[in-house]
């Protein structure tokens, strides 16, 4: 951790999460029990914690894939807790990377990368193709443009998924166990790629992982347990953070 890595706390943060809860099954499951978290522009944050601690649930809320049960969730100052059109928000602002890649099997690698571009107006067939090729070159896959995902290795699939996540030049990259299905050498390569993208573009990144070595690629590690944040080097002074006893 770099103590010199001071971010400007007066600027509007990318995410401002205040006392957010998330319940499932009419309250039988309390996946998040009051989470307060502020993520500044350009930060690279890892979220670690045991299985079931609420990491994916929190990432879903940040990516507007789900709504909080209570509390406030702001993106650049705007309340995103109950957006009327979350798909449009996601297409514009969020790149999402999943453990199991989630590539569409009947489309080629290049077509998969183009798919998010259809979510925003103003792209022509030519611009979509050019952008897809450029992104696939950036992740080292220019030799696999016309391949179907099933013909690729795990590492290549995740590279393709990373290229897809960057299609619309997102403000934030959210990655849920992006190395979870990869062998350790390939995992290192994928983390090097994400680190390079972060260094080059200063895209804000939130990475969920079980693996402390993977987490250590980030400049800030937030730890969750039982639906709460139990450790965060940038935790707000006491008030909102409710620690388990
Ligand atoms: N759609 C859902 N319906 C009911 N319960 C859910 C749902 N999604 C998550 N949960 C529950 O919420 C809790 C937190 O789940 P979550 O997926 O966020 O954990 P996680 O930290 O990502 O775990 P893992 O490391 O295993 O992926 C768990 O108890 C889980 O069973
Ligand atoms: Mg999870």
Q: Is residue 119 part of a domain?
A: yes
Residue 56 Cα to ligand 2 midpoint, Å, equals 4
Q: What is the CATH number of the domain that holds 216?
A: 3.40.50.300
Query: Which residues constitute the domain of residue 208?
Result: 41-55+85-223
Total length of the chain: 245
Q: Is the CB of 53 under 6 A from ligand 1?
A: yes
Number of H helices, E strands in the chain: 7, 10
Cβ atoms < 10 Å from Cβ of 138: 17
Q: Is residue 122 part of a domain?
A: yes
Residue located nearest, by CA, to atom 26 of ligand 1: 51
Question: Are 186 and 154 a contacting pair, CB within 8 Å?
Answer: yes
Q: Is the CB of 63 under 6 A from ligand 1?
A: no
Residue 188 Cα to ligand 1 midpoint, Å, equals 26
pLDDT in tens, the chain (245 residues): 444 445 556 789 999 999 999 999 999 999 999 999 999 999 999 999 999 999 999 999 999 999 999 999 999 999 999 899 899 999 999 999 999 999 999 999 999 999 999 999 999 999 999 999 999 999 999 999 999 999 999 999 999 999 999 999 999 999 999 999 999 999 999 999 999 999 999 999 999 998 999 999 999 999 999 999 999 999 876 544 444 44
pTM score? 0.91
Q: What is the rounded distance in angstroms from the CA atom of residue 58 to the CA atom of residue 51? A: 13
| Nearest atom in ligand 1 to 30's CA | 12
Q: Is residue 95 part of a domain?
A: yes
- Indicate the top mutation candidate among 57, 179, 206 to test ligand 1's pocket, ranked by most ligand atoms within 8 A of CB: 57
The DSSP element (H or E) to which 159 belongs, if any, is: helix 154-165
Residue located nearest, by CA, to atom 22 of ligand 1: 56
pLDDT of amino acid 11: 87
pLDDT of amino acid 9: 62
Q: Is residue 64 part of a domain?
A: no
Q: Is residue 60 part of a domain?
A: no
Q: What's the structural domain count of the chain?
A: 1
pLDDT of amino acid 143: 96
Q: Is residue 92 part of a domain?
A: yes
Q: How far is CA 44 from the centre of its chain?
A: 10
């Amino acid at each position: 951790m770099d103590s010199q890595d001071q971010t400007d706390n007066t600027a509007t943060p990318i995410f401002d999460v205040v006392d957010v809860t998330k319940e499932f099954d009419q309250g039988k499951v309390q996946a998040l029990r009051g989470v307060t978290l502020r993520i500044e522009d350009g930060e690279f944050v890892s979220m670690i914690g045991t299985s079931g601690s609420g990491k994916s649930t929190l990432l879903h809320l940040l990516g507007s894939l789900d709504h909080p049960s209570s509390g406030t969730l702001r993106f650049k100052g705007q309340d995103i807790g109950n957006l009327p059109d979350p798909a449009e928000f996601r297409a514009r602002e969020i790149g999402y990377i999943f453990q199991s890649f989630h590539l569409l099997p009947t489309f080629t690698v290049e077509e998969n990368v183009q798919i998010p571009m259809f979510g925003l107006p103003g792209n022509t067939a030519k611009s979509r193709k050019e952008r897809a090729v450029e992104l696939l070159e950036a992740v080292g896959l220019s030799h696999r443009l016309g391949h179907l995902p099933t013909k690729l290795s795990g590492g290549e699939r995740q590279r393709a998924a990373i290229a897809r996540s960057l299609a619309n030049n997102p403000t934030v990259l959210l990655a849920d166990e992006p190395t979870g299905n990869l062998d350790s050498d390939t995992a290192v390569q994928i983390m090097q790629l994400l680190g390079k993208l972060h260094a080059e573009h200063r895209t804000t990144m939130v990475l969920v992982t079980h693996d402390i070595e993977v987490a250590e690629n980030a400049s800030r590690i937030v730890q969750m347990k039982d639906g709460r944040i139990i450790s965060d080097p940038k935790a707000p002074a006491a008030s909102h953070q409710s620690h388990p006893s």
